[in-house]
Amino acid sequence: MIDDLRTLVEVESPSRDLDALGKSAETVASVIEGRLGGKAVLVDSAGGPHVNWSGGGTPRVLILGHHDTVFPLGTLARRPFLVEDGRATGPGVFDMLGGLVQAIHGLASLDDLSGVEILVTADEEVGSHASRALIEERALACGAVLVVEGAADGGGVKTGRKGCGTFEVSVTGRASHAGLEPAAGVNALVEAAHQVLAIAELGRPEVGTTVTPTVASAGTLDNVVPAAATVVVDVRVESPEEKERIESAFATLTPQIDEAVITVRGSVGRPPMPESAAAGLFAVAQRLLPGLEGRAVGGGSDGNFTAALGVPTLDGLGAVGGGAHADHEYLVVASMSERARLVAGLVDAIRSV
């Protein structure tokens, strides 16, 4: 497993870099074919190639993951793959190349792979816009989904996820000289400040809704009234009702300054993953691995899409470790075999029903 993990990590795969993602997809396909046999098909998309493999027969369970990472080309040179003191480090080891490797090796331990399907997408880290339809199609065809994203803190699986989305609020004003005629302008930065305060008030932490302005930009020069400003907002919700409320609130944002114009793009693109979707599979996982904990988390994954369809979905079956998206990302090597066996046991249990 460590050899295969090194192979995947050392082929960098930043989201949206189609050349890099093409090489990564070919490498993932090669590892799958080498361990499981058969043919892994590359499915081209605007977001890069996805990898789809089937063990034959009527599809019963979908192993779902992604091969894109958040790290730009060159990260590997600065932070190469390393196994030391019981930890594997390197870009993407925890999110989520380790989970892919564990799942593949878990499946390789089974005598029969019929009914098993693997889908490894190329654009999860940037919203899954080019893979969502395929994910939903294969989830419905299979009827159960095991998501090999990294485990929750402490090694638990993820039994629920918030819905999440990004909104971009653009303000259009009018430029003027800040010294000679400031009143002739329409200050987009000041309007954006009004909107940031109003947007921040949309959050309802008591019901799990967080609304967080994260990135802002405005202006061109220090002596020019800003004609444009942009605010990016991260949104997380636990219920469909809150999704609707938030989307409606963004759609009806109203300028506070005369002649300012507001344009909003975005939505809560990943629906909430209710814990009910994971309940049955989590019970099976606990029988296979006594003491296994389940946690609802704020981050989203492609499991949000499959759970929202009503397809039984268990997430966080991948690597035990931490530091997703950070330089200290790591995987606990000693846990790899146990997690591989857990995936294999779940596949057998699903096919026996």
DSSP letter string, 81-149: -EEETTEEESTTIIIIIHHHHHHHHHHHT-S--TTEEEEEES-GGGT-TTTHHHHHHHHHHHS-EEE-P
- Joined together, the tokens standing for residue 80 give 């190469």
How confident is the model at residue 116, as a pLDDT?
A: 98
CA-based diameter of the chain, in Å? 80
Among residues 312, 165, 166, 311, the alpha carbon closest in space to that of 240 is found at 165
38: helix, coil or strand? coil
Residues comprising the chain, all counted: 353
- In terms of C-beta density within 10 A (0-12 exposed, 13-18 middle, 19 or more buried), how is residue 263 classed? exposed
Check if the beta carbon of residue 315 is closer than 8 Å to that of residue 158.
yes
- Joined together, the tokens standing for residue 210 give 């967080």
How confident is the model at residue 205, as a pLDDT?
A: 95
Among residues 275, 344, 329, 336, the alpha carbon closest in space to that of 304 is found at 275
DSSP category for residue 239: S
Instruction: Please write down the long-range contacts of 52-55, taking CB distance under 8 Å and 24 or more positions apart.
Output: 52/117, 52/118, 52/119, 52/120, 52/134, 52/138, 53/29, 53/117, 53/118, 54/116, 54/117, 54/118, 55/107, 55/112, 55/113, 55/114, 55/115, 55/116, 55/117
The span from the CA of 242 to the CA of 233, in Å, is: 16
CA 152 to each of CA 36, 148, 224, 228, 297: distance values in angstroms, whole numbers, following the listed order: 28, 11, 48, 41, 8
How confident is the model at residue 121, as a pLDDT?
A: 98
The span from the CA of 150 to the CA of 88, in Å, is: 14
- Joined together, the tokens standing for residue 141 give 């065809």
Among residues 62, 86, 71, the alpha carbon closest in space to that of 8 is found at 71
How confident is the model at residue 14, as a pLDDT?
A: 98
Query: Tens-of-pLDDT digits for all 353 residues of the chain?
Result: 999 999 999 999 999 999 999 999 999 999 999 999 999 999 999 999 999 999 999 999 999 999 999 999 999 999 999 999 999 999 999 999 999 999 999 999 999 999 999 999 999 999 999 999 999 999 999 999 999 999 999 999 999 999 999 999 999 999 999 999 999 999 999 999 999 999 999 999 999 999 999 999 999 999 999 999 999 999 999 999 999 999 999 999 999 999 999 999 999 999 999 999 999 999 999 999 999 999 999 889 999 999 999 999 999 999 999 999 999 999 999 999 999 999 999 999 999 98
Check if the beta carbon of residue 8 is closer than 8 Å to that of residue 339.
no
How confident is the model at residue 353, as a pLDDT?
A: 87
Residue 96, preceding peptide bond in cis (omega within 30° of 0): yes
